[in-house]
Amino acid sequence: MLSFVILCLALITVYCFFLNHRFHATNPAASTFAAKPLSDDELASLAYPSTKDMADWIRNTNPPTGRAYIVVGGSGLVGQCIIKSLLGRGETLVRNIDVVAPSPFGDPNEGVHVSRSEFVEANVTDYDAIKTAISKPFGDPSLNVTAQVVIHTAGAIRHWERLAYLKPLCHKINVGGTKNVLKAAQELGTVRAFVFTSSVTGFVTPGKYLRFWLQNPLVFGDEPIQEALLSNNHYPTSKREADALVRAADNIKGIRTGVLRPGMAIVGPGDQYITIVSNCCTSLLGYDLSWSEFIQRFAKTKDQIQFGAEIKPISGDELAKLTYPTAEDMGKAAGSPTGKAYVVVGGSGFVGRYIVRTLLGRGETLVRIIDVVPPDLSGDAGAKDHLSHADFVKADVTDYGSIKDAMTRPFGNTGITAQVVIHTVGVIRHWERLPYLKHLSQNVNIGGTKNVIKISQELETVGVFVFTSTAGVFLPPANYLRLTRNYGVVFNDDIPSGMPLSHAHYPETKREADALVRAADNIGGIRTGVLRPGMAITGPGDLWITFYLKNTRPNSVWSGEYFQNIINPWDLARAHIQLADALETRPDELGGSAFAITGQPTASSFDDLRKVTQACCRRNLGFQPVPALPLYILSHLTEAILATRFYVLDMLSGILGRKPSYIPQWAMAGGLAKLQPAMWDFAFADYIIDDSRVREVLGYQNLWSNEQTLKWTGSRCVNATAMLFVLLLGALSAYAYLLNKRLTTPHHAAHERTYEPITNEDLATLTYPTADDMANAAGSPTGKAYIVIGGSGLVGAYIVRTLLGRGETLVLIIDTTPPNLSGNSKARDHLSRAGFIKADITDYDSIKAAISRSFGGTGVTAQVIIHSAEIFRPYERLPYLRGLSYSVNVDGTKNVLRAAQELGTVRAFVFTSKDAPQGMPLLHSHYANSKREADALVRAADNVKGMRTGVLRPGMSVLGVGDVWSTSYLKNPDPNFVWGGQCFQNIINPWDLARAHVQFADALEAQPNEFGGSGFAVTGQPTACSADELRRIMQACCHRDLQFQPVSVLPLYVLSHFMEMFFMIRFYMLSILLAVNLQPALWDFVCADYVIDDRQIRKALGYRNFWSNEQTIKWIVENFEGNTK
């Protein structure tokens, strides 16, 4: 026993040694991408552009547009630089919307001083305030010039939070605020470009600490990666969600949106990059602790939910006496008729026909089936629910003209057109995953859904839209041999952060269609809802039990020990109707919601289900267990053979004179085509669907037990010849369990980067661009009306300044605080020249009023919205804190998108997201998750109501005057405790990021079809810099000793877990929400190398950084010391 204890202690000691080494070690590959450090002499002689230099450069390269710009968050670090850039290039209509006025520092006579932009105080979380601020006309109200370009930079940066009770602190601003700004911009009607300041932290992977043998990825670009691997800290989650919202809102109401994701730190005088950690450690340890040089990540773990609810086996006698509900019972259970006109798209299908029968059974007289094939009219034609009583129109959802004619046709001679649309159409090809086959699912499941949504919106009489999704959109596939995290067996509407999803084409396309329907809520007055049934929809004519009953040969089966739910199509049909009714009576509560739904809450094993099926059948079904492994191996060979056949024949098509079929007839007829690896995604796992939410909210109750469903199915089926190849028997039973692993591909390799430190001599002579240079670089003014949501923030303020600097006159800042108006008020890019409206993006009415307000007396409303508002709480990951990030980053972005769409004049919408690496585990904090969701929402909203959307994903840190990181070092008179100095990351100057927003907004206007719905990673100097080198440059530029003191990370990391637990217990016991940034999720961006590859945006938009790392740091230090004096 003693020997065992000693051995364990030795192993723990060795592990801690390597773990501690990992905290201090540098990835050898990182130096390949690093910039050359400057010497002390080079730093001493380093110069950086003046404000005038920036304005001149911007004006010369990008003349003023004359548009009306709003920088939401224009008082922030980035927002002020944007405003100065706008003013510097000659824009005259620039409005700063923020909760605080911009800093008064600087020469008011300077042409780019923020005081030259109009300031309107508004909180992005207050929809009415932000709407009023955005829609306020520029100058003389009689001219009605309102925002044409909105640059939204506002955001709450609380990257150290991850627990659920803290989530609203980030979510309310970053998601809800973004929603408000988007919505206000859309409703304004004059906004044509919307640029959002996101963050690269929403799209990079957390560090692998406890798994020290794994290497962190270095290079992150624009390519999407598996969402399950992203951070779930509240800041990156909420920025990710807001990012998606802005991109999804592209081309809604004519607004083109774009997102910049600066990374890693935005560094400049007054930045806030390390203030969070420093303040936390000051309160806990009694001294300031600086931000780590390794920036970002740690994997979140979560206790698994164990299930104990299994079905009690039924005896033969009980089964013989068992009865089940009749069609009349189901019609009565659906309630009273409403007299509405119902259209069921896919009403001839398995689920659709039961929806139609339920509607007819409860007394509805205006019911139409739209499908490519007519419904089965067997049965009693005199029955009240017979399908012959419904109107049928043949149409294909992939043919816009066909489906439009079918949906807009009046019902008989009543003159009434569709009022409720239930869309159940779907192509179920769950066995396919290779790219050449994706369009076979995508055309119907995504393209068809887009067509049905668009026609419903154009029809104007439709008030409710219900979509049939699948539980596959939120369930992880079986792990097989992958020794990865176990996410438990009980799944509900709350998708666990970081969970892998299926990458088969069916669940992947349904997931995208699911998001499209939810994002379309309240657009054109239509309230939308989604049902996600799981696991198998079982009844006469289904794909698995019916096959057993019809097959005259032995039924080979496997995976009998696994437990899963089933749902009866009658129950599912009634749930659709209940949701449609509820969307009529409670639209604001349920609009845009999605519900998991199943039948009997207790699950059954496959073996139990087959036993009941056998007991209900009068013949021996011949269930024969077989080993699945040989079939699993064979499925990979089948996939390889079919893919090789297609690609070879496709290359020879020029010689053969015809294109090959994607799947050969012989493979489909024999069923071999279905024996492919993706078929197994949900065959070997326990899945119990927790649909308690839909039961509570809609009052749904299953009227069919598992035994009743199986007995009913058996009573309607007769023996027949085998329908599929014998190897597919088990695959058909696995069909209903196909539930979604997101497609991932490895991230691309970075181009070569060489680390060349700057010498002190070079640093002493180094200059940096001026605000005039930056304004000139932003191009000519467009004359559009710009709204910058979050224009008082770090990024938003520089967006506003850039717009003002280039000569935009219609710029409105929407934020919860007014911009900082320090500096030369006479400068062209002064934030005082931008309008300001106080509004909160989490408050739809507030942000709608702000966005829809015309600019001064011009009568012009927003045409371009740049949404940079967010709440940055990357340190939060526990469920009780989720709302703090999601309320701002997701809900706020939804509000801004909705307001922008409803405004009708917004043509460009740019969203600031976070950078998105591909093929890597992603950060899983609430911030990261919410930013990812917002990112997807914005991109999905492209071209809705004529607004084109785009997303910028800055990475890694935005460093500039007023940032969080460098300013804390400069302000702290005590020793600065630091760690992880050997890790390499990019930084981006807020001026560069601001200009990228403006360039993206311009591109969305000029080339909407090319850039609409796009997302670009963006950073500053392509070569990365270690945190130690950044601090060395800062020390060389500073006239006092900053006293950087390296400390060990491991004790702080351990302490952060105790802090997280303490505050969670405090919240649940005392209901006191106390936000503390020293929590485990804080480390998601700490102790890791992150090199952002932004070649795509450089090629597409012509973006280039004007600020080197050294120029940025020198600019920050000199501004800080100058303001202090």
DSSP string, 526-550: BEEEEEEE-SEE-STT-SSHHHHHH
In DSSP terms, 567 is beta-bridged to 537
- pLDDT tens for each residue of 1070-1084: 554 444 556 665 556
Q: Which of 974, 978, 910 is nearest to 948 (CA)?
A: 910
* 863 plus 1008 within the same structural domain: yes
- pLDDT value, residue 29: 54
482: confidence class by pLDDT, cuts 50, 70, 90? low
- pLDDT value, residue 837: 93
* 912 plus 987 within the same structural domain: yes
- pLDDT tens for each residue of 1000-1013: 999 998 999 999 99
Q: Which of 841, 840, 823, 821 is nearest to 831 (CA)?
A: 821
Q: Are strands 68-72 and 93-98 parallel, antiparallel or unpaired?
A: parallel
- State CA 1035 to chain mean position distance: 39
CA distance 839 to 817: 8
Q: Which domain-ending residue is among 560, 582, 599? A: 599
From 344-348, 470-474, 789-793, the region with the lowest mean pLDDT: 470-474
Q: Provide the number of structural domains found in the chain.
A: 2
- Give the DSSP H or E segment for 259: strand 256-261
- pLDDT value, residue 720: 36
Q: What is the arithmetic mean of pLDDT over 798-810?
A: 92
* 287 plus 353 within the same structural domain: no
576: confidence class by pLDDT, cuts 50, 70, 90? very high
* 793 plus 904 within the same structural domain: yes
Cα-based torsion angle of the residue sequence 498, 499, 500, 501 in order, rounded to the nearest 10 degrees? -120
Query: 892-903 and 926-940 helices cross at what angle (nearest 10)?
Result: 20
Q: Are strands 563-564 and 604-605 parallel, antiparallel or unpaired?
A: antiparallel
Q: What is the arithmetic mean of pLDDT over 148-171?
A: 87
Q: What is the arithmetic mean of pLDDT over 594-603?
A: 88
* 261 plus 346 within the same structural domain: no
Burial bucket for residue 6 (CB in 10 Å: 0-12, 13-18, 19+): exposed
Residue 1010 lies in a domain: yes
Residue 1107 lies in a domain: no
- Give the DSSP H or E segment for 452: helix 449-459
Is the pLDDT at 731 greater than 50? The verdict is no
- pLDDT tens for each residue of 62-79: 788 889 999 999 888 888
HSE at residue 609, side-chain half, CA atoms within 13 A, is: 32
- pLDDT tens for each residue of 876-896: 888 878 888 899 999 999 999
Q: Two tokens at 227?
A: 């969402």
Residue 723 lies in a domain: no
* 394 plus 290 within the same structural domain: no
Give the position of tokens 């290039």: 89
- pLDDT value, residue 874: 77
End-to-end C-alpha distance for the chain, whole angstroms: 68
Cis peptide bond N-terminal to 947, omega within 30: no
* 384 plus 508 within the same structural domain: yes
Structural domain including 374 reads: 336-474+491-533+569-599
Is the pLDDT at 408 greater than 50? The verdict is yes
From 185-189, 224-228, 928-932, the region with the lowest mean pLDDT: 224-228
CA distance readout (Å), 372 to 354, 369, 375, 408? 17, 10, 10, 17
Per-residue DSSP letter, 1082: G
HSE at residue 743, side-chain half, CA atoms within 13 A, is: 15
Percent of the chain predicted with pLDDT > 70: 81
- pLDDT value, residue 220: 56
Residue 1068 lies in a domain: no
Q: What is the arithmetic mean of pLDDT over 350-356?
A: 93
CA distance 625 to 605: 14
- pLDDT value, residue 111: 63
* 115 plus 241 within the same structural domain: yes
* 277 plus 355 within the same structural domain: no
Is the pLDDT at 612 greater than 90? The verdict is no
746: confidence class by pLDDT, cuts 50, 70, 90? very low
Is the pLDDT at 853 greater than 60? The verdict is yes
CB 436 within 8 Å of CB 646: yes
Residue 305 lies in a domain: no
- pLDDT value, residue 784: 92
Q: Which of 1102, 1083, 1086 is nearest to 1094 (CA)?
A: 1102
Residue 594 lies in a domain: yes
CA distance 356 to 379: 15
CB 916 within 8 Å of CB 222: yes
From 843-852, 967-976, 990-999, the region with the lowest mean pLDDT: 967-976
801: confidence class by pLDDT, cuts 50, 70, 90? very high
CB 787 within 8 Å of CB 865: yes
Selection from 472-476, 713-717, 730-734, 866-870 with the highest mean pLDDT: 866-870
* 287 plus 348 within the same structural domain: no
- pLDDT value, residue 966: 83
- pLDDT value, residue 400: 94
Longest C-alpha distance within the chain, in Å? 95
**Interior/surface letters 553-587, b for 16+ CB within 10 angstroms, e for the rest:** eebbbbbeebbbbbbbbbbbbbbbbbbbbbbbeeb
- pLDDT value, residue 425: 94
* 288 plus 377 within the same structural domain: no
Q: Which domain-ending residue is among 583, 599, 615? A: 599
| Alpha-carbon radius of gyration of the chain | 30
CB atoms within 10 A of CB 944: 30
How many residues would you count in the chain? 1125
Percent of the chain predicted with pLDDT > 90: 31
Residue 958 lies in a domain: yes
Q: Two tokens at 827?
A: 């400068």
HSE at residue 1027, side-chain half, CA atoms within 13 A, is: 35
Residues 6+ apart with CB under 8 A from 329: 703
In DSSP terms, 909 is beta-bridged to 257, 949
* 833 plus 881 within the same structural domain: yes
Q: Two tokens at 758?
A: 């700057």
- Measured at the alpha carbon of residue 960, what is the angle toward residues 959 and 962, in degrees to the nearest 5? 110
CATH of residue 386's domain is 3.40.50.720
At 573, give phi and psi (nearest 5°). Answer: -60, -45
Is the pLDDT at 489 greater than 60? The verdict is yes
19: confidence class by pLDDT, cuts 50, 70, 90? low
Residue 993 lies in a domain: yes
